[in-house]
Structure 1
Amino acid sequence: MISSELDAAGVRDPELRDAYARCRAINAQYGRTFFLATRLLAPEQRPAVHALYGFARHADDILDDFSAASVDERANRLQGLATDLFKRLVDNVDSGDDPTLTAVTHTARKYGLDWQLFDDFLESMRMDLTITDYPDRAALGRYMYGSAEVIGLQMLPVLGTVGTREEAAPYAAALGTAFQLTNFLRDVDEDLVRGRVYLPADELAVHGVDREVLTWCHDNKRTDQRVRRALAEQHEAARRVYDYAEGGIAMLAPRSRPCVSAALTLYSEILDRIEEIDFAVFNERATVGKRRRLAVAATGLTRAWRARRAGRGS
């Protein structure tokens, strides 16, 4: 399957093909929902998406290497990653033999992705090394610009638009934010174990919630009523972002709409599961079942096939 995708994308160089194959394997292993949605794209679009995911995952793995590396070591490794990518993208100098860098550099050049988008992403990764709490939504938003919105903006040239990218950009950025807000709610317990709280402190405080209360919930595997009310409010905020982002799907190239629609559906249904378990996120992980994921994918495949067929006929 990867060979046909790379053939469709015009990737012939053996080393480059190996690099893209590695990124695809990373996506398949760690990004189940995202990978499934990617299958709805045209074959020639998929390698670029795998490359962007592979690079982001590489940075995330450096960031979360708590057991083997100190903060300074992880900071140095992130800086090394940034330096190597800068040399490739800006200085046009090969640096290192990291397959994720090889693939993402090729993708960035092919689709005209600016270095600044990658630098903004890496800046948010650096923030995670030292920042563990966010006082308000504005502060959290600054983090999410690099960690989530930028991902949507990187994807936009790969997906294509029917109008200008500038018109579609706010919606693409919002979808990245919606996905990340969903992860914050689903993974609040896991993030707490890592010492991080990705929820605005002032909005939690309205409900009498702080880190100490969240830690009690973790220790007792229970969701305190104050926390339940606070999470419900965050849940509503995430829903509003999804509602806005959905308006941008019609701005995408028709062949890309089934993929993005499926991803939006599946991620938003994680919010449904969180609500269905009554925000018991400290003792249960909210997931969308395999049968449902496959059903959404099957519908998306039919729509994607029809869109690509119509595109060939036009």
Structure 2
Amino acid sequence: MAHARDSIAKGSKSFAMASTLFARQTRERAWLLYAWCRKCDDLADGQDHGGAMASVDDPQARLAHIRALTAIALAGQTTGDPAFDGLALVAAECHIPASLIHDLIEGFALDAQGWQPQSEDDLLRYCYHVAGAVGCMMALVMGVDPADDATLDRACDLGLAFQLANIARDVGEDHAAGRCYLPADWLMEMTIPTDNMLQPAYRARLAVLGKRLSVMAARYEASARHGTPALPFRSAWAVLAAAGIYGDIARKVAAKGGHAWDQRVHTGKLAKIGWIIKAGIQSRRRARFGQGDAIRQGLWTRPR
């Protein structure tokens, strides 16, 4: 637990702040899940609790290592790595299906292949693997019934919103690491070359795509809010705070236009505190969100 607490404190100030709103047991379970996700991400990308990605020359070996340790943990055996042993604990306590855990690992497998989305549907499928599946696991950590597909769908939507915000923010960092998560057909539509997309001549066009990602993130964020009536008050508070804090990242990318990638966009501490206050009010009134099926019209649906 100490390892998991330190991992989220170092790896994500936004998620660490939002997690303090959970009840203690939920908070600690969320930390355990985060620590495993963070460790897998770091192993796959050559990172240390996020930050700049490093080029790795053995992506398939790293993926095999993640798969092997995860399999040992899910089999109930000790791995000696607190991140993987913590996964075993939270998966058992919260009845997290192995299929969701493997869905996340498939996202790392796509990266290991040097994959780039060709279409918007490809992009959303990737977002599901690396973040939507985590949203579903977090819903189970918060006590959602595994048979409650409507609420799990909303949890998936929040994961998609977070990842779309990440992709919008990290276009420059991903480019430096030799990656691109902007669909190839988007780049073709805007006549932006993949290898020189950050050059001044293409910044205005790239800003159009940054705004498109922001609009998509906002739609999934809005849909995700309609799952909060199924959550306990403190869990809904944490979810709504995280949604607002992370949503601001996508909104800032859209507002900065072609300058969005001059320096890393983030949500400041005062803005985070503001969202915690607003989320507390929203959580007390969350019944008005309902399940919001109508808002999902035209949105991507998670695989069953």
Give the TM-score of the pair, scaled to structure 2: 0.84
Alignment correspondent of 2:77: 93
- 2:19 pairs with 32, 38, 47, which one? 38
Q: In structure 2, how many angstroms separate the alpha carbons of the residues matched to 1:107 and 1:302?
A: 30
- 1:64 pairs with 39, 45, 70, which one? 45
Alignment correspondent of 2:238: 259
- 1:234 pairs with 194, 203, 213, which one? 213
Answer with 151-160 or 58-67: which moved more.
Answer: 58-67
Alignment correspondent of 2:68: 83
Query: Where in structure 2 are there 5+ consecutive unaligned residues?
Result: 47-52, 287-304
Q: In structure 1, how many angstroms separate the alpha carbons of the residues matched to 2:258 and 2:222?
A: 21
**Amino acid paired to 1:226:** R
> RMSD value over aligned CA atoms?
2.5
- 2:227 pairs with 232, 237, 248, which one? 248
- 2:105 pairs with 122, 125, 129, which one? 122
C-alpha displacement of 1:149? 0.8
Aligned length: 280
State which structure, 1 or 2, has the greater radius of gyration over its C-alpha atoms: 1
C-alpha displacement of 1:294? 2.3
- State, as a whole percentage, how many aligned pairs show the same letter: 25
Work out whether 1:185 is the aligned partner of 2:185.
no
Q: In structure 1, how many angstroms separate the alpha carbons of the residues matched to 2:213 and 2:279?
A: 29
Work out whether 1:54 is the aligned partner of 2:39.
no
How do residues 85-234 of structure 1 correspond to structure 2 at under 5 angstroms? 85-89=70-74, 91-94=75-78, 96-161=79-144, 165-217=148-200, 224-234=203-213
Report if aligned partners of 1:40, 1:304 keep a CA contact under 8 Å in 2: no
C-alpha displacement of 1:68? 8.1
1:67 to 1:170, Cα distance in 2 relative to 1, 3 A = closer
Answer with 172-181 or 275-284: which moved more.
Answer: 275-284
Report if aligned partners of 1:162, 1:251 keep a CA contact under 8 Å in 2: no
Per-residue Cα deviation, 1:93-121 (whole angstroms, up to 9, x for no partner)? 33x20011111110000000111111111
Report if aligned partners of 2:210, 2:253 keep a CA contact under 8 Å in 1: no
Alignment correspondent of 2:3: 22
Report if aligned partners of 1:186, 1:274 keep a CA contact under 8 Å in 2: yes
Q: In structure 2, how many angstroms separate the alpha carbons of the residues matched to 1:199 and 1:162?
A: 35
